[in-house]
Structure 1
Amino acid sequence: MIVVGVDGSAAARAAVEWAADDALRMRVPLRIVHAVDRSPYQIGKFPTADWPDALLRQGHRVLADAAAVARDRQPEIDVTTRVLEGPPALVLREQADMADDASGPADEVVIGTRGHGGFAGALLGSVSAHVAGQARSPVVVVRAEPHPVRGRIVVGVDDSPECEPALAYAFRQASLRGSELRALHAWQLPVHAFAPEIAYDMDEVRQAQYRLVRDRVEAMEKEYPQVNVVEEVQSAHPVDALGAASEEADLVVVGSHGRGTLGSVLLGSVSRGVLHHAHCAVAVVRGR
């Protein structure tokens, strides 16, 4: 199942379109979720008797519009909707982690950004960071701005354990979409490497970086032989390299540890940086 959060914004519409397309490709149902958060209105000196019904009515309108977008986009998919009470970040994360009692977490969670209120924020809403840092499912953050189809997916590759689930997700997406997969590893010498008294064989360093990418990619190529993979190593900061690559991509995939209640804080500087600066959709994938 794919879960998508909506709030009536243009970014949410873009997220629904993305989620509907992926639901068709993955052959899974789509659940559209709207969170009703009463907490901003629960102030003692202000009457709130009329707010609950008004908020629920608005929520049902938002869901009806989003469901119509999804069904118009992909008539074959199974679409359900839910209005749930609570802070949007918590509601969406719980829906992601318990999408299906039989199979566990959702296949994917989709959130729009650059919208207003609810699931979106001014640049990268706190909801996006919170869910990406804590949800057990891959979290896709979709930009509201139109983006031409490039037929390419970029995945960040490094030597961390978080790289493996990110690679697996990227290969699956490339296979489903028929896209080229660009496996990108960006590296920088440590500060002490520039000390004149320490000698470095730069050719050897570069060869080691290429071997790292090759070893990571090789195992996945056996499972997805139909995917055209381009391996690339750059001497650059990973955020800069992945941000530049995103200009010619449909999706950038990064791994994340996302630990515990501080998941949004511990999302990782690279994951957070890419989420803020990428020009296309970004998928944050953590190990289950």
Structure 2
Amino acid sequence: MNRVIVVGADGSAAATAAVEWAADDAARATARLCIVHAVDRSPYEIAKFSNPGPDDAVTLSAESVLADAERVARKRQPGIDITSELFQGAAATVLRGQAGHAGEIVIGGRGLGGFPGAVLGSVSTHVAGHAHGPVVVVRSNPDTAYGEIVIGLDDYHAGEPALAYAFEQALLRACTLRAVYAWQPPTHAHIPESAHDLGEIHDAQCRITAGILLGWRQQYPQVQVIEDVRRAHPVDALAGVSTQADLVVVGSQGRGAIGTVMLGSVTLGVLYQARSSVAVVRP
């Protein structure tokens, strides 16, 4: 794992929770924490704001945000290595650009730009949908611990980076790893559900699950794994177990070209419905 964890700070309560989460993860992984704040001057196309300088009001405010975030991180984990960086540009673009040298990007679920009552911000969905590698969207209190990491399984090789991240998190946290494989019976309008042998289908899904996890169990013998095969929609299954999870990890197979389509419908659904923090790991 790259030993740099990047966290976005904007002075909001959600971003403060993200800084605390990232500081804890940096301490566990012996990683350097880099706190990033982006100054987007495009809304202020007037002379007072559009000319960047060390003493202009926007820069001074941004430096204050970074200083406050660094204090939060040092108070949370006094022993970790912390740096901070101020960038010019849109927050989503700046954070996405950090993916190349970061082992993990951490962001709050909704920052200062979010709409009241919104469960997920546009920056969160953009970064999670476009940045390669783990992007953690912090949705829960870092001080609440259940001792369980959840990984959503599929039978595609592209899900392997998510599995690697989930096992590593479980190892670092000394947590149980719950591997959730959700399946639904074939749906055909002219064939009644009773015509399918649901027990046989379930057994087949259990065998698939065991096969996916076999090599990972051997690689991480210290991690206790629960194989949780459910007849449910994947979003419903993962959202259901998220209430007692420290983190839900999902891969993303989305291949769309624009916006949140890159996330895939299941990943986006989990981001919106999960009660815990969510890590999206794009291959």
Q: TM-score, normalised by structure 2?
A: 0.91
Q: Which residue of 1 aligns with 2:95?
A: 92
Q: Deviations over 1:225-277 (max 9, x none)?
A: 00010001111111111001000000000000354752522211110000001
Root-mean-square deviation (Å): 2.1
Count of residues in correspondence between the two structures = 275
Q: Which residue of 1 aligns with 2:172?
A: 176
Q: Which residue of 2 aligns with 1:285?
A: 281
* Cα shift at 1:67: 0.6
**Aligned with 1:55: secondary structure?**
helix
> In the alignment, is the contact (CA less than 8 A) between 1:30 and 1:79 conserved in 2?
yes
Q: Which residue of 1 aligns with 2:220?
A: 224
Q: 2:122 is matched with which residue: 123, 126, 132?
A: 126
What percentage of residue pairs aligned between the two structures are identical? 58
Q: Which residue of 2 aligns with 1:41?
A: 44
Q: 1:202 is matched with which residue: 198, 202, 216?
A: 198
**Aligned with 1:133: secondary structure?**
helix
Q: Which residue of 1 aligns with 2:236?
A: 240
> In the alignment, is the contact (CA less than 8 A) between 1:113 and 1:121 conserved in 2?
no
2:145 and 2:258 mapped to 1: Cα distance?
35
**Aligned with 2:48: secondary structure?**
coil
* Cα shift at 1:193: 7.6
* Cα pair distance change 1:23/1:271, threshold 3 Å: same
Alignment of 1:87-166 (within 5 A): 87-97=90-100, 99=101, 106-117=102-113, 122-143=118-139, 148-166=144-162
> Is residue 270 of structure 2 the alignment partner of residue 271 of structure 1?
no
Alignment of 1:74-89 (within 5 A): 74-89=77-92
* Cα shift at 1:204: 1.8
- The aligned amino acid for 1:232 is D
> In the alignment, is the contact (CA less than 8 A) between 2:140 and 2:277 conserved in 1?
no
* Cα shift at 1:162: 2.8
- The aligned amino acid for 1:94 is G
2:117 and 2:219 mapped to 1: Cα distance?
38
* Cα pair distance change 1:9/1:196, threshold 3 Å: closer
* Cα shift at 1:197: 9.8
* Cα pair distance change 1:210/1:273, threshold 3 Å: same
2:201 and 2:226 mapped to 1: Cα distance?
20
Q: Which residue of 1 aligns with 2:65?
A: 62
> In the alignment, is the contact (CA less than 8 A) between 1:139 and 1:285 conserved in 2?
yes
Larger CA deviation: 190-199 vs 58-67: 190-199
Q: Structure 1 unaligned runs (5+)?
A: 100-105
* Cα shift at 1:84: 0.3
- The aligned amino acid for 1:227 is V
Q: Which residue of 2 aligns with 1:103?
A: none
- The aligned amino acid for 1:241 is A
* Cα shift at 1:114: 3.0
Q: 2:29 is matched with which residue: 26, 30, 55?
A: 26
2:24 and 2:139 mapped to 1: Cα distance?
15
1:224 and 1:27 mapped to 2: Cα distance?
19
> In the alignment, is the contact (CA less than 8 A) between 2:20 and 2:142 conserved in 1?
no
* Cα shift at 1:211: 0.8
